Structure 1
Amino acid sequence: MFYWMLLVLAIVFEVTGTLSMKWSTLSGAASGYYIMLLMIGCSYLSLSIAIKKIALGVAYAMWEGVGIILISLCSLWLFDETLSAGQLFGLVLLILGITLIKIGTRATAPKEQGVMQ
C-alpha cells in the first residue's frame, strides 16, 4: 500500500509541476518554473521508489495516463482550455488502456526473483 501511495504522490507532484509551468507561462512569474522543477523532481523520485514494488509498465502507465487526464481536466477548469471530441475520445481510450493494464497485471502476479550475484 505504501508504494501505491507513493505512486499517487508522484502523480500529484507531476500534475502540480505541469500546471505551475503553464501558470508561469501565462503570468510571466519565474517562481512557477522553480515550483515546476521541484515538483517534477519530487515526482520522479516518488515514482522511482514506487517501482520497487509496482510493475514498471503499470506504474508508468498510471503515472503518465492519470497525470494526463488530471492535467487536461485542471486545464479546462483553471485555464479555460477546451477539449475537442477527438481529445475527449482519446482520454476515454487512455482510461480504458490503464484499466486493462492494471487488470492484466493482477491476473499475472510477478514472481519473486532472487538477487543476482
Structure 2
Amino acid sequence: MVYVYLIIAVVFEVVATSALKMSDGFTRLAPSLVTIGGYGLAFFFLSLTLRTMPVGVVYGLWSGTGIVLIALIGYFAFGQRLDLPAIIGLGLILAGVIIVNFFSRSVGH
C-alpha cells in the first residue's frame, strides 16, 4: 500500500505544479485553488509513505518522479522545449529513481 500512497502523492504534486503554472502568480482563482488543494493532498499522502519508508528515499522518489513528469507536461502541454543537457539531466534523475526503487534495500521491499 505504501507505493499506492507514493503514486497518489506524485500525481497530486504534478497536478498542483501544473495548476501553479496556470495560476499566473495566484491571480487566477480556479488554478490557484487546485494548486493549494493538490499540494495539501500530495503532502498528506507523502506523509503516509513516511510511516514505513525512510524520508530521504521517499523524498528522492517523490521529487525525482515529479521532476521528470513535470518536464514532460511542460513539453507537451505548455510547449516548453528542453535542450540536450536538460534531457540528459532528466534521464539521470529517472535512472536514479529506477535504481533506488529496484535495487535499494532502503525502500522496504
What TM-score, normalized to structure 2?
Answer: 0.88
Which residue matches 1:15? 14
What TM-score, normalized to structure 1?
Answer: 0.82
Which residue matches 1:41? 40
- Residue 24 of structure 1 deviates from its aligned partner by 1.8
Structure-to-structure mapping, 1:61-72, within 5 angstroms: 61-72=60-71
Q: Quick check: 2:6–2:46 contact (8 Å CA) kept in 1?
A: yes
Distance 1:10 1:4 in 2: 10
Distance 2:18 2:107 in 1: 35
Which residue matches 1:92? 91
| Partner-residue secondary structure (3-state), 1:82 | coil
- Residue 52 of structure 1 deviates from its aligned partner by 0.8
Aligned-residue identity in percent: 27
Q: Compute the RMSD of aligned alpha carbons.
A: 1.8
Q: Quick check: 1:24–1:30 contact (8 Å CA) kept in 2?
A: yes
Structure-to-structure mapping, 1:17-32, within 5 angstroms: 17-25=16-24, 29-32=28-31
Distance 2:107 2:11 in 1: 26
Structure 2 unpaired stretches of 5+: none
| Partner-residue secondary structure (3-state), 1:25 | coil
Larger radius of gyration between Structure 1 and Structure 2:
1
Structure 1 unpaired stretches of 5+: 111-117
